C-alpha cells in the first residue's frame, strides 16, 4: 500500500510501474521486520549468502556479475538540454533521446519481479541540509544497501508532505547487459535513471548519482557545495575539537584517513580522531562566516582489500555486524569473508568473488587475476558500527570546517603536504589535482589523470562553472577554511612508498591544524607554504621504506622538497589540461594562479640535489 498522499510521488511510482511492469509494488517503510523479511527472501533466491551468525551477525555476501564490478564512467551521462552545460568533463546525451533510450531498455523489464519503492533522505531528516529521494528498483540488494547507506522509511515521506519535491531515481537491473548499461542524470528534472547494472555507485542512486552529480548542480544554483570529501574531527587533549574535510579520488584512502588511529604518543596525550563521513560532504555557509559540513550518508561503502586491523581497525570493526559484503571471497571453513590484505595467512578453503574454488597456492600478489576478492570489492556497513563515529554524525547543523585538504596518488613532484596562499590559490590547487587511477572505476589502473577536487566523475555540470562556483563561495565566506594539499603516495626510485601513511598521517594533520591557528612555521615556496622537516612531529616513527632502510628525517626532507623544474613542467601540463580538457569557462582567478606558479618556478634556481623520484 502506498505510504504517502504526495501526488508527485504517487505519479512517479505509477509511471515507473507502467514502464517496468512489475508483478508487485512494495513500499519500503524501513521497519526492522520488513528488512529482515527481505534478507530472508534474498538468501532463498541466492542473491545473498548468509554468513556465520556468531562471528558476523546479520552479515551477508553478495556476488555481482563479472561484467558489473565498478562504476562505468563511459556509460554515465549528464543529460542537459544544452550540451555545453554538461561540459567537456561529462558524457552528454540529449534528454529526449536519453529518456527514449532508457524507456526502450526498461520497458517490461520488471515483469515477474517486484518493484520496491525506497523513500530515503540524504542527511538527517529535518536538517536544513537534508534532501529527499525516492528510488524505485527491482533489486533487493539495492534496497538493503540503500537501507544502510541512507536514512530510509516513512519519515522521509512525512517530511515531503503533500506536495514536497524530491529526486526521482529509477533503477532496473534488466539483464545486467554491459552494452546496454546506462547511468543517466537529468539535473534539470531532478531525475536519475540506471539500467543494466546492479553494482554500487551505478545503482545506489543516493550516493554518487544524487549526493554528488545532482547535488553539485543544485549546490551551484542554491549557493552550497556537494563534494567528494571525508569529514573528520580531531579532539585535542584539552577537549577542543577541530574539523577537516578532505577530497581524494575513489580508493585513495578516504575511509582510512577518516577513521585514523593516531600514533601511540598522540593517544597518550589525549588526541582522538572521530569520523563524520568517509566519502561525501555537503557544505553550506554558516551565519558565523564559516563553512559547515554534513555527511549526507548513513553508512560506509568501503573498499575491502587492504583493510585489516592494522591498516584500519575502525573500518574492520564496522564490518562485524549488519554488513553486506560485495565481491569478497567466502571462507567456507567458517562461513566468514576474506580479501587480500585481511590477514597474512591465506585461507585454505575459499570461494573466490566469481563463485569458483580458490587455490591459495596459485596466488600471486602482483597478478590481480589470481586474487580471491575483486580489487574493488566492498563492504556496506552502518556508520553506527564504527567505534570512532563522531557524536556530531547525526548533527542537523553539521560541523564547522577549519581546513580543506586535497590529495591524490602521485609517485613524484607533489610534496607530502603544502598549504595554499589563500582561498583562490586553494581552488587552483584543487582544480589542478591529478591522481593515478584505481579499480573503483572500470578501465586501466595506475594511469595519471586529472581529477579536479576528486570530482572528475561526479560533477554534474561544466567543470569550468564548478571552479567558478568554488571561487564565488570563497567570496561569500568571511572566515573560510584554509586549503592544503597532501600526497601520501610519494615513491623512491624503486617504487617503494616513502611515507608510512595510515595512522602516521596524524603527524601531517597536526601541522595542518596548527597552521590554521597560526601556531606552526612554514617556508614559502613557489607552490605555497611547506613545513620545514622539523615542523612535523616524528616522535617514535618507525617505518621501513624497504628492507634495511628506516624512515629518517632526510626522507622527510626529500618528500617535502619542491623541484622547480618539475613544477614548471607540471604548470605546462595544467595549462594543457585547462585549454584542452576544460576549454572555456575557466575563471580568470585560476589563470592568474597558474601564471604566478610559472613565474615563481622560473624565479628560483633549480635545486642542486637531483631528485631520486620515480617519474609519474
The contact set with Mn ion (CB under 5 A) reads: 250, 279
**C-beta of 141: minimal distance to ligand SAT in Å?**
13
Q: Which is nearer to ligand SAT, 207 or 290 (CB)?
A: 207
Residue-by-residue DSSP string for 418-487:
EE-SSHHHHHHHHHT-EEE--TTBSS-SS-EEE-GGG-TTT-SS-HHHHHHHHHHHHHH-SSPPEEEEE-
Q: Given candidates 95, 201, 262, 481, which one binds ligand SAT under the rule CB under 6 A?
A: 201
How does strand 191-195 pair with strand 167-172?
A: parallel
Read off φ and ψ for residue 122, nearest 5 degrees: -95, 115
Residue choice 121, 145, 250, 437 for contact with ligand SAT (CB under 6 A): 250
Span near ligand SAT by CB under 6 A; candidates 200-208, 344-352, 563-571, 602-610: 200-208
566 binds ligand SAT (CB under 6 A): no
Q: Which of 444, 469, 384, 353 is nearest to 69 (CA)?
A: 353
* Cα distance between residue 120 and residue 151, in whole Å: 5
- Listed in order, strand segments (DSSP E) in 460-563 are 482-486, 523-525, 528-530, 544-546, 549-550
As a three-state string, the secondary structure of 159-212 is HHCCCCCCEEEEEECCCCCHHHCEEEEEHHHCEEEEECCCCHHHHCCHHHHHHH
Considering only residues 505 through 544, tell me which ones interact with ligand SAT, judged by CB under 6 A: none
- Cβ at position 302, least distance to ligand SAT in Å: 9
CA torsion sign for 569, 575, 581, 586 is positive
CA 516/CA 419 separation, integer angstroms: 10
Report, in Å, the least distance between residue 439 CB and ligand SAT.
9
Cβ closest to ligand SAT, residue 193 vs residue 560:
193
CB closer to ligand SAT, 207 vs 482: 207
**How many angstroms separate the CA atoms of 331 and 313, rounded?**
20
Site for ligand SAT contains 213 (CB under 6 A): no
301 binds, among ligand SAT, Mn ion, none (CB under 5 to 8 A by kind): ligand SAT
Q: Which does residue 187 bind out of ligand SAT, Mn ion, none, counting CB within 5 to 8 angstroms by kind?
A: none
Piece in contact with ligand SAT (CB under 6 A), picked from 199-207, 256-264, 363-371, 379-387:
199-207
Binding mask 59-98 for ligand SAT (x = CB under 6 A): ------------x---------------------------
Number of residues that bind ligand SAT (CB under 6 A): 8
Closer CB to ligand SAT, 170 or 511, in the complex: 170
Please state, in angstroms and rounded to a whole number, the distance separating the CA atoms of residues 513 and 532: 15
Q: Which does 71 bind (CB under 5 to 8 A by kind): ligand SAT, Mn ion, none?
A: ligand SAT
Q: Smallest gap, in angstroms, from Cβ of residue 71 to ligand SAT? A: 5
Burial (CB count within 10 angstroms: exposed 0-12, middle 13-18, buried 19+), residue 444: exposed
Please report how close the Cβ of residue 209 comes to ligand SAT at its closest, in angstroms. Answer: 9
- Contact, 387 vs 502, CB < 8 A? no
Known catalytic residues? 252
Helix axes of 140-149 and 32-45: crossing angle, nearest 10 degrees: 140
> Toward ligand SAT, which CB reaches closer, 207 or 469?
207
Residues paired with residue 170 on neighbouring β-strands, in sequence order: 136, 193
Q: 3-state SS of 281-331?
A: EEEEECCCCCEEEECCCCEEEEECCCCCCCCCHHHHHHCCCCCEEECCEEE
| Residues 300-359 close enough to bind ligand SAT by CB under 6 A | 301
207 binding ligand SAT? (CB under 6 A): yes
Q: Are 497 and 490 in contact (CB under 8 A)?
A: yes
Q: Which is nearer to ligand SAT, 207 or 410 (CB)?
A: 207
Give the residue with the Cβ less far from ligand SAT, 155 or 438. 438
For residues 306 and 474, which CB has a smaller minimum distance to ligand SAT in the complex? 306
Q: Provide, rounded to whole angstroms, the least separation between the CB of residue 208 and ligand SAT.
A: 4
Locate 424 and state its grid cell: 583562490
191 counts as binding ligand SAT under rule CB under 6 A: no
Least distance to ligand SAT, CB of residue 282, Å: 16
Nearest residue to ligand SAT by CB is: 201
**Cβ distance to ligand SAT smaller for residue 190 or 250:** 250
Least CB distance to ligand SAT at residue 319 (A): 16
Under rule CB under 6 A, which residues in 412-441 are in contact with ligand SAT?
A: 440
* 92: β partners: 78
Handedness of CA 563, 569, 572, 574 (dihedral sign): negative
Binding at 490: pick from ligand SAT, Mn ion, none (beta carbon under 5-8 Å per type)? none
Of 304 and 473, which CB lies nearer to ligand SAT in the complex structure?
A: 304
Residues between 289 and 308 that touch ligand SAT (CB under 6 A): 301
Q: For ligand SAT, which residue of 208, 213, 450, 490 counts as binding (CB under 6 A)?
A: 208
User: What is the rounded CA–CA span in Å between residue 260 and residue 501?
Assistant: 10
Whole-number Cα distances in Å, 566 to 414, 484, 571, 579, 606: 9, 20, 9, 20, 10
Region from 87-95, 201-209, 532-540, 571-579 binding ligand SAT, contact rule CB under 6 A: 201-209
Q: Which does 191 bind (CB under 5 to 8 A by kind): Mn ion, ligand SAT, none?
A: none
Give me 23's grid cell.
508483478
Provide, rounded to whole angstroms, the least separation between the CB of residue 406 and ligand SAT.
16
Nearest approach, Cβ of residue 148 and Mn ion (Å): 16
200 binds ligand SAT (CB under 6 A): yes
**DSSP 8-state class, residue 534:** G
User: 192, 193, 275: which is closest to 241 by C-alpha?
Assistant: 275
Residues that bind ligand SAT (CB under 6 A): 71, 200-201, 207-208, 250, 301, 440
Amino acid at each position: 500500500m502506498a505510504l504517502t498522499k504526495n501526488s508527485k510521488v504517487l505519479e512517479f511510482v505509477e509511471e515507473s510501474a507502467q514502464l517496468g511492469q512489475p508483478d508487485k509494488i512494495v513500499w519500503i517503510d524501513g521497519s526492522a521486520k520488513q528488512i529482515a523479511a527481505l534478507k530472508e527472501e534474498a538468501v532463498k533466491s541466492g542473491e545473498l549468502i548468509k554468513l556465520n551468525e556468531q562471528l558476523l551477525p546479520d552479515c551477508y555476501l553478495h556476488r555481482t556479475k563479472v561484467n558489473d564490478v565498478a562504476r562505468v564512467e563511459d556509460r554515465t551521462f549528464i543529460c542537459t538540454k544544452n550540451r555545453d552545460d554538461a561540459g567537456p568533463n561529462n558524457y552528454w546525451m540529449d534528454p529526449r533521446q536519453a529518456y527514449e533510450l532508457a524507456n526502450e531498455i526498461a520497458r517490461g523489464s520488471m515483469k515477474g519481479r517486484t518493484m520496491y519503492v525506497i523513500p530515503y533522505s540524504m542527511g538527517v531528516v529535518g536538517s536544513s541540509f537534508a534532501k529527499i529521494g525516492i528510488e524505485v528498483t527491482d533489486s533487493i540488494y539495492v534496497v538493503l544497501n540503500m537501507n544502510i547507506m541512507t536514512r530510509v522509511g516513512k519519515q522521509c515521506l512525512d517530511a515531503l508532505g503533500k506536495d514536497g519535491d524530491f529526486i526521482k531515481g529509477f533503477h532496473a537491473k534488466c539483464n545486467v547487459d554491459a552494452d546496454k548499461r546506462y547511468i543517466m542524470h537529468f539535473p534539470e528534472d531532478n531525475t536519475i535513471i540506471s539500467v543494466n547494472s546492479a553494482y554500487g555507485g551505478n545503482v545506489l542512486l543516493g550516493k554518487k548519482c544524487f549526493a554528488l552529480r545532482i547535488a553539485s548542480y543544485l549546490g551551484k544554483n542554491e549557493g552550497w557545495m556537494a563534494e567528494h570529501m571525508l569529514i573528520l574531527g580531531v579532539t585535542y587533549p584539552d577537549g577542543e575539537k577541530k574539523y577537516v574535510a578532505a577530497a581524494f579520488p575513489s580508493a585513495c584512502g578516504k575511509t582510512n584517513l577518516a577513521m585514523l588511529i593516531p600514533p601511540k604518543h598522540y593517544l597518550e596525550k589525549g588526541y582522538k580522531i572521530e569520523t563524520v563521513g568517509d566519502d561525501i560532504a555537503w557544505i553550506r555557509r554558516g551565519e558565523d562566516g564559516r563553512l559547515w559540513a554534513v555527511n549526507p550518508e548513513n553508512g560506509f561503502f568501503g573498499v575491502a582489500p587492504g583493510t585489516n586491523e592494522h591498516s584500519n581497525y575502525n573500518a574492520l570493526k564496522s564490518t562485524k555486524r549488519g554488513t553486506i559484503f560485495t565481491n569478497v571471497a567466502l571462507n567456507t571453513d567458517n562461513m566468514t569473508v576474506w580479501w587480500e590484505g585481511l590477514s597474512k595467512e591465506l585461507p585454505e578453503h575459499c570461494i573466490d568473488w566469481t563463485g569458483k574454488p580458490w587455490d591459495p597456492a596459485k596466488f600471486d600478489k602482483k597478478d590481480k587475476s589470481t586474487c580471491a576478492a575483486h580489487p574493488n570489492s566492498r563492504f556496506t556497513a552502518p556508520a553506527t558500527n564504527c567505534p570512532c563515529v563522531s557524536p556530531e554524525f547525526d548533527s542537523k547543523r553539521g560541523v564547522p570546517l577549519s581546513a580543506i585538504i586535497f590529495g591524490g596518488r602521485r609517485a613524484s613532484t607533489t610534496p607530502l603536504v603544502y598549504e595554499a596562499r589563500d582561498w583562490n590559490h586553494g581552488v587552483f590547487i584543487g582544480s589542478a589535482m591529478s591522481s593515478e587511477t584505481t579499480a573503483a572505476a572500470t578501465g586501466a589502473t595506475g594511469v595519471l589523470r586529472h581529477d579536479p577536487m576528486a570530482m572528475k566523475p561526479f560533477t554534474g555540470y561544466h567543470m569550468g562553472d564548478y571552479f567558478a562556483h568554488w571561487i564565488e563561495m570563497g567570496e561569500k565566506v568571511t572566515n573560510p577554511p584554509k586549503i592544503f594539499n597532501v600526497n601520501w603516495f610519494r615513491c623512491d626510485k624503486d617504487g617503494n612508498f616513502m611515507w608510512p601513511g595510515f595512522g602516521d598521517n596524524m603527524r601531517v594533520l597536526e601541522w595542518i591544524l596548527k597552521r590554521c591557528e597560526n601556531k606552526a612555521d612554514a617556508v614559502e615556496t613557489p607552490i605555497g607554504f611547506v613545513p620545514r622537516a622539523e615542523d612535523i612531529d616524528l616522535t617514535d616513527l618507525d617505518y621501513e621504506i624497504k628492507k634495511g632502510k628506516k624512515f629518517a628525517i632526510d626522507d622527510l626532507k626529500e618528500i617535502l622538497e619542491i623541484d622547480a623544474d618539475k613544477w614548471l613542467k607540471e604548470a605546462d601540463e595544467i595549462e594543457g589540461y585547462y585549454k584542452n580538457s576544460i576549454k572555456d569557462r575557466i575563471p580568470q582567478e585560476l589563470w592568474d594562479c597558474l601564471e604566478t606558479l610559472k613565474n615563481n618556478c622560473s624565479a628560483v634556481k633549480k635545486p642542486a640535489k637531483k631528485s631520486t623520484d620515480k617519474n609519474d
